[in-house]
Structure 1
Amino acid sequence: MILSPTLQQMPPIQDKTFYRAAVIEAPGKVSVQNLDLPEPGADEVRIKIEGCGICASNIPVWEGRDWFEYPVSPGNPGHEAWGIIDAVGENVDNLTPGERVAGLSYNAYATHDIAKAKDLVVLPDFFDNKPFPGEPLGCAMNIFSRSDIQEGQTVAIVGSGFLGLLLTQLAKSAGAKVIALSRREFSLKAAKEAGADEIITLDDHYQIIEKVKQLTEGRFCERVIEATGKEWPLNLSIELTAERGKLIVAGFHQDGMRNINVQMLNWRGIDMISAHERDSSKYIKGIKAAIDAIEKHEMDPYPFFTHGFSLDEMEDAYKHLTERPDGFIKGLIINNQ
């Protein structure tokens, strides 16, 4: 279904002894199960989940790889949840039941999940009745910070999915000129609406290089953000980066080794930065920065939340994620019970 930019008010929290969770039983097969409601341990809270974003990093476990074991843990690999605290464990004195939060938890394709108290951020009233998948929004802010984008620079963003579109908005807010690249016509249109100055179809390698060379009067781009997770666009990104420029790897390269053009990296003196964070405190800092950026209108994710699904529609959600039909940018699992 197509998602409304706002959410209906969730019904009052009710006492239950079970919760519902989606379980990937085998590649391409999902069931929704009723399970005993977990209790938070020390330093933990339980969240009644309003919703959870679906992430491209889920694709390998959905499709199947040799290193996965099935069934996976209930609710896994959902990790982009927001919701309302309904129980707290021992030693938790900074959060209380009834507070609306977003943050890091790892079994969030469910009606409830457990999270560490330190890995959550209380959402301001500004976000009432609005979805807030904190993890990818924080990720975008962390990538933007690592990119060191300055006013007047030319920034190429290779890949115009959810992440690339957020970074387009942020780069424009910083005063940069943005060249957006994508293989999908729909994504290029979305990039233009997000503020991109120029759009280029990801098709012919050498024609793309020539177009960017012309647009930059032969200098290429001071910053290039690769947001596809694929080998060819990564190598293209190297060739679009100016001498002493920065190439920021934002795509999630999760399906094997990469052959990259180290010769060009060396020749142009390019700084190649992997912008992925693994420290949870960095993610929480990014989520707080995302709240601030949205409130200041430097970033607006809401036009990009294009599709909503229930837990019972998880298989359809995964199919949209892998097939990416026209009109699909970011899908959310929405709990309305």
Structure 2
Amino acid sequence: MQHQDTLTTEKKTATQTYVATMQAAVLTAPKTVEVQEVPLPEPGANQVRVKLEGCGLCASNIPVWEGREWFNYPVEAGNPGHEGWGLVDAVGEGVTDVKVGDRVAALSYKSYAAYDIADADKVVKLPDTLAGKPFPGEPLGCAMNIFKRSDISAGQTVAILGIGFLGALLVQLAKNAGARVIAISQRDFSLDVAKQCGADEVIKMDDHYKIIQKVSELTNGKFCERVVECTGKEWPLNLAGELTAERGKLIIAGFHQDGMRQVNIQLWNWRGLDVINAHERDPQEYIKGIKAAVIAVEQGAIDPEKLYTHTYTLENIGEAFHDLTSRPDGFVKALITF
């Protein structure tokens, strides 16, 4: 298949031909995924095509994997993969800041596939210092943006509820900033991860009132200047409010996507809490976060590699989704690699 004249691709020899198709994961029904041969996408103006090295799995994928009445199946090929990184192998007309061969993290949305298309202004070049290292840019950038919104500084006591990939990164960032960190999570394994990331105290997320009492004891009854909720669940969100000090900041980092929430607004109001929904809808804010993550990894402020606990191929992505949902012991972050 010939590329359009507007595309810049790797040079061909007389014996080379372009592959017209690629492999991609397709969710054909709830809890049913197939690897299909689909057309190779072509970048349009101001777009690039990325030959993917890998893509992270995100907990936000669980509803479409499990099935909800508002989803239609089959889902588009490669969707909902949005944590991809790899090498640019083709660029569209008007692209000047990115070239073929650049290694990038991409903010794109069909990355459970061998290739994906991204807008040229939604990729971040990865430096040689990160060569060969996985870099799921979107969640790393998300952690940086949440940390920025949290306004964490030295001397503060920070509680982080839910130690998955995001929570563990935030433990690292808060410790790097000089804060005292209390990590609260359900799984014993995740509490061990929190310790490895530098948490000063760990508390099992089991009994609402015991947790409040424990944090009160640890803070001489003052509670925490910053509390970050990473679970996306109603009970931990209300617990987070109880743990936030007067005039403190409650940061909602969890993805609350499955309906209404009842919260203790009387408590929030009485304590004068600043409640921050630390989600960014502007893609360029995500790109800023990914760029900040590159620097943070280079400088050692975060070390995500020890959090990549499970790796799968595209062929066993069904197993990956199953583990993402069931969270076997030892599971923090899963990557699909190509």
What is the SS of the residue equivalent to 2:172? helix
Report deviation, 1:38.
1.1
Q: Which residue of structure 2 lines up, in the alignment, with residue 60 of structure 1?
A: 63
Change (3 A) 1:285 1:166: same
* Match for residue 39 of structure 1 among 32, 39, 42: 42
2:146 paired with 1:143: yes
2:249 paired with 1:246: yes
Report deviation, 1:190.
0.4
What is the SS of the residue equivalent to 1:101? strand
Count of residue correspondences:
323
| Structure 1 outlier segments of 4+, above 6 Å | none
Alignment of 1:243-282 (within 5 A): 243-282=246-285
Q: C-alpha separation between the residues in 1 aligned to 2:31 and 2:150?
A: 36
Alignment of 1:167-246 (within 5 A): 167-246=170-249
Report deviation, 1:14.
7.9
Residues 199-258 of structure 1: CA distance to partner in whole angstroms, max 9, x if unpaired?
000000000000000000000000000000000000000000000000000000010000
1:33 maps to a residue whose letter is: Q
Q: C-alpha separation between the residues in 2 aligned to 1:43 and 1:14?
A: 25
Q: Which residue of structure 1 lines up, in the alignment, with residue 105 of structure 2?
A: 102
2:74 maps to a residue whose letter is: P
Q: C-alpha separation between the residues in 2 aligned to 1:213 and 1:164?
A: 21
Q: Which residue of structure 2 lines up, in the alignment, with residue 114 of structure 1?
A: 117
Residues 111-138 of structure 1: CA distance to partner in whole angstroms, max 9, x if unpaired?
0000000000010001101100000000
Q: C-alpha separation between the residues in 2 aligned to 1:167 and 1:35?
A: 38
Q: Which residue of structure 1 lines up, in the alignment, with residue 4 of structure 2?
A: none
Instruction: Identify unmatched segments of 5+ residues in structure 1.
Output: 1-12
Report deviation, 1:36.
1.4
What is the SS of the residue equivalent to 1:90? coil
Contact 1:247–1:271 under 8 Å retained in 2? yes
What is the SS of the residue equivalent to 2:319? helix
2:154 paired with 1:134: no
Contact 2:130–2:298 under 8 Å retained in 1? no
Q: Which residue of structure 1 lines up, in the alignment, with residue 325 of structure 2?
A: 322
Query: Percent same amino acid among aligned pairs?
Result: 64
Contact 1:24–1:31 under 8 Å retained in 2? yes
How well do the aligned residues superpose, as a CA RMSD in angstroms?
A: 0.9
Report deviation, 1:169.
0.2
1:173 maps to a residue whose letter is: N
Q: C-alpha separation between the residues in 2 aligned to 1:295 and 1:110?
A: 28
* Match for residue 157 of structure 1 among 147, 160, 185: 160
Structure number, greater radius of gyration: 2
1:114 maps to a residue whose letter is: I
Q: Which residue of structure 2 lines up, in the alignment, with residue 88 of structure 1?
A: 91
Contact 1:103–1:287 under 8 Å retained in 2? no
Q: C-alpha separation between the residues in 1 aligned to 2:56 and 2:132?
A: 16
Q: C-alpha separation between the residues in 1 aligned to 2:113 and 2:41?
A: 12
Instruction: Identify unmatched segments of 5+ residues in structure 2.
Output: 1-15
- Structure 2 length-normalised TM: 0.95
Residues 134-187 of structure 1: CA distance to partner in whole angstroms, max 9, x if unpaired?
000000000000000010000000000000000000000000000000000000
Report deviation, 1:103.
2.3
2:293 paired with 1:290: yes
Contact 1:226–1:237 under 8 Å retained in 2? yes
Contact 2:103–2:126 under 8 Å retained in 1? yes
2:20 paired with 1:17: yes
Q: C-alpha separation between the residues in 2 aligned to 1:307 and 1:145?
A: 28
2:152 maps to a residue whose letter is: I
What is the SS of the residue equivalent to 2:124? strand
Q: C-alpha separation between the residues in 2 aligned to 1:33 and 1:66?
A: 24
Change (3 A) 1:24 1:189: same
Q: C-alpha separation between the residues in 2 aligned to 1:129 and 1:26?
A: 35
Contact 1:246–1:270 under 8 Å retained in 2? yes
Q: Which residue of structure 2 lines up, in the alignment, with residue 6 of structure 1?
A: none
- Structure 1 length-normalised TM: 0.95
Report deviation, 1:17.
1.3
1:92 maps to a residue whose letter is: V
